[in-house]
Amino acid sequence: MSEPDCMFCKIVAGKVPAEIVREGERTISIRDINPQAPTHVLVITREHYPDAVSVGRADAGLLDEMACEAHEVATAEGVAATGYRLVFNTGSGAGQTVHHVHGHVLGGRGMEWPPG
């Protein structure tokens, strides 16, 4: 299912352009329009789910696919060996601005913990 007003549904449908770095059967991975690290790729489900919890509850296998895709992206981007961060902002208070599940793959620079 897709949501008519959802930006990522539009990207999945090809109605809004994006730099696609990897395409899977149930996911696509696109470069973030406002990168926060040398590698900043978003792993997005083709179907609309509002967040990681809802996709996990509906289809745990799909959440697993997202994690595997994130690792494939990190490997292709050359950041898997040094380490990368896979982030699911969940809820507006945590900084989620696009309410279509996406995993941020961030790498290529040092990362602090806890994040700001």
The amino acid that residue 41 corresponds to is V
Instruction: Give the binding site for Zn ion (CB under 5 A).
Output: 3, 6, 8-9, 48, 100
| Gyration radius of the chain over CA positions | 13
> Residue 50 Cβ, how far from Zn ion at the closest point, in Å?
8
Q: Residue 114: is the preceding peptide bond cis (ω within 30°)?
A: yes
Q: Is 34 in the site for ligand 5GP (CB under 6 A)?
A: yes
Considering CB distances under 5 to 8 angstroms, the limit depending on partner class, which of ligand 5GP, Zn ion, none binds residue 33? ligand 5GP
Residue closest to 70 by CA, chosen among 99, 35, 38, 40: 40
- The residues, ordered by sequence, that sit 6+ positions from 109 with a Cβ below 8 Å of its Cβ are 37, 38
Nearest distance in Å: CB 97, ligand 5GP: 4
Q: Residue 102 catalytic?
A: yes
What residues are labeled active site?
102
Could you list the residues that contact ligand 5GP (CB under 6 A)? 7, 16, 18, 30, 32-34, 42, 89, 95-98
